Amino acid sequence: MGSCNPIGIREIEPGGPFVFSPVLCSTRRKEYFERANRHLAMYSCLSIYSFFGNKAINIESKRRGIDDNTPFLLEISNHFMQTSYRQLKKSYSQSGAQLTNQVFLMLYGNFDAFLFDLVHDAKRHLGSRDPFQDTITLLSATRWSGKLDRLSQKLSLNISQGELFQQYNGVEMGFLGQPTKDPVEFLQCMADLRHRLIHGGSRADSKLIQKYPDAGLDDGDYIELPFGLPFIISYFLIPFTDYIDKSFCDQFSWEREMISPESLIT
């Protein structure tokens, strides 16, 4: 992260663990952190349970002499799945990437919801007759650079992509093998990936490969995000949410209060 430490991490003890310093939050940013913490807590708990569960199953399978052809009948809340031990292991080997993909989508959607709520509040503040539809229209720009420019112009916000760039000075960023120093470009990379995960069946296509040639993907490959990526995404979005939150609160005289992000668990 460099010496600037833009996300405000502080040490509880020398060498860690680390927590975030208290930050200023509007009601909407507080809600954003609550949702993000729930997503990451779920990701952590499932990962821990999977690790110890897999360890226990391996020990038990050796004790009982279970081989790849051993049939399994699994019951989950009155729903049944019949499979073999071979298929069960294959499914497990893919589950970490699938979980990571889904949590990535949840975190991206959380940021999207945060911005939508701020714009919706602004439209209500300005007396819009249909703030919901007006918010959809305002956020309909396809690329993040244009979306932020439109917000700045239409709502008279002091959003400068140059200032955002400076806030991330010293932060090493990269997505799908493509390095960048621009946080708006990084956010656009997230949007490109989200599109393939949702609308492309989680498979790479020629357009994605052409744009991200160093991602190590071929046309038709399943996209499997690296384990732990959701935490990096969450860290990345903290200065971004602060900048956007402050821009709205300054313009519309909304209050912000100092809150410790790690305490926001609902």
pLDDT in tens, 10-25: 666 666 556 667 889 9
Q: What is the mean pLDDT of the chain?
A: 85
From the list 49, 58, 46, the residue with the least C-alpha distance to 85 is 58
* Contact (CB, 8 A) for 190 and 199: no
pTM summary value:
0.84
266 pLDDT higher than 50: yes
* Contact (CB, 8 A) for 241 and 32: yes
The Cα 109–Cα 193 span in angstroms is 12
Read off the pLDDT of residues 121-174 as tens digits, 9 standing for 90 and up: 999 999 999 999 999 999 987 799 999 999 999 999 999 999 998 888 878 888
Sign of the CA dihedral running 220, 94, 225, 79:
positive
From the list 258, 230, 251, 236, the residue with the least C-alpha distance to 37 is 230
Strands 71-76 and 23-25: unpaired
